[in-house]
Amino acid sequence: MAYVRIAMSLGYSGGFEETVSGLADYEKAGLQVVQVAEAYSFDAVSQLGFLAARTSRVEIASGIMQLYTRTPSLIAMTAAGLDFVSRGRFTLGIGASGPQVIEGFHGVPYDAPLGRTRETIEICRKVWRREVLEYHGHHYDIPLTAGRGTGLGKPLKIINRPVRDRIPIVLAALGPKNVELAAELAEGWMPAFYLPDSADEVWGEAVRAGTAKRDPALGTLDVWAGASLAVGDDVTALRDTDRPQLALYMGGMGARGRNFYNDLAHRYGYAAEAKLVQDLYLAGRKEEAAAAVPAGLLERLSLIGPRGWVAERLAVFAESGVTTLAVNPVAPTHLERVRLIEQIRELADGL
């Protein structure tokens, strides 16, 4: 069975100091990767730079950095800078996000996510190899040709020498075509709300199609999944802590008929429940929407339960192909959360 790395996401709603405090304890407990999300909060890059300065061993990752508001060249420059300040510990997690954030917060058209993602990855790798950058794609034209610009731009290469000429890329993807793209081009794939029991049924065909076109030099696809974590005989009620987030994504992250997360719940077999959650959420009845999230889905998405049950579910995650597991330790104190990281590391080592 594949070795599973233990990761953890840092919150983005508070200050950097409070989210980083205690990270050394988690690292000592066995945490190997820490990732920073980017929603409509502080940008991920600032916090990642802060993390790089405050840590020495744990790997850092953007999870995810959305690509619509940055040019591919800027994404490449930023990743190279974060890899430099972290001394080669950075993983670039990127994704298209969705219309709710890209159009609703940034005011940028959400168009051609597949094409833009492919071209971004190709351009980033050219920059990191310090090639003179010349790229003429469907979405990015570097340098701009005279017909689209002044014609004065000349091909350039990045001034600094990156620490690595291939920084790992993890692509956040849900739809079949995007998942296929991740399996073809990226070092890793990060699905949201990963249900290991249904992963092959929902994504297997896309993963296999992408893997068939994959460059062997990329290695085996690193599958990043997430799950809330609590271990004990009386902790199952803590699964309810995931209800508000699931309701937000299933109900509010996109319009009716264009919500990727609601579509995913349909594909998991919760079509009626997903429709109810969305109807309630869009009607402004958010608490009722959270209450309507099916208990069975909460159970299967989480690692919350007795130690033996958590060990069994962890094995299911690993058997489905997960190689990096980002856990959200659910406990009232820092010491208890650190102990949860120790426990999941012990269980992962026993796989």
What confidence tens digit (pLDDT) does each residue in 244-259 have? 999 999 999 888 888 9
Tell me the per-residue pLDDT of 82-98, one tens digit each, with 9 for 90 and over. Answer: 999 999 999 999 999 88
CA-to-CA separations, 299 to 193, 243, 296, 340, in angstroms, rounded: 12, 11, 5, 18
Instruction: Name, in order, each residue with C-beta under 8 angstroms of 169's C-beta and a sequence gap of 6 or more.
Output: 91, 92, 93, 94, 121, 124, 185, 186, 187, 188
Question: How far, in Å, are 37, 60, 67, 81, 154 from residue 76 at the CA level?
Answer: 18, 16, 11, 9, 18
How many alpha carbons fall within 13 Å on the CB side of residue 324? 26
Query: Which residue is associated with the tokens 């299933």?
Result: 250
Is residue 326 within 8 A of residue 59, CB to CB? The reply is no
Checking if the pLDDT of 1 tops 60, the result is: no
- Min mean pLDDT across 145-149, 155-159, 336-340 is at 145-149
CATH superfamily of 5-229+306-349: Luciferase-like domain (3.20.20.30)
pLDDT confidence band for 206 (50 / 70 / 90): very high
Q: Percent of the chain scored above 70 by pLDDT?
A: 97
- Predicted pLDDT at 273: 97
Q: What is the pLDDT of residues 266-319, one digit of tens each?
A: 999 999 999 999 999 999 999 999 999 999 999 999 999 999 999 999 999 999
The phi and psi torsions of 15 (rounded to 5 degrees) equal -85, 160
The tens digit of pLDDT for each residue in 148-199 reads: 778 788 899 999 999 999 999 999 999 999 999 999 999 999 999 999 999 9
Which residue in this structure is represented by tokens 């992408």?
Answer: 210
Which DSSP string do the residues of 295-333 spell out, in sequence order?
A: HHHHHHH-EEE-HHHHHHHHHHHHHTTEEEEEEEE--SS
Confidence of residue 228 (pLDDT cuts 50, 70, 90): very high
Run of H or E including 341: helix 334-349
> Pairing state of beta strands 33-36 and 5-10?
parallel
Overall residue count recorded for the chain in this entry: 351
Within 10 A of 262 (CB to CB), how many other CB atoms are there? Answer: 23
Residue 38 near residue 106 (C-beta atoms within 8 A)? no
State pLDDT tens for residues 23-48: 889 999 999 999 998 888 888 999 99
The confidence score (pLDDT) of residue 341 equals 98
pLDDT at 14: 61
Q: Give the domain ranges of the chain.
A: 5-229+306-349, 234-305
User: What is the reported pTM?
Assistant: 0.94
- Secondary structure tally for the chain: helices H, strands E: 16, 12
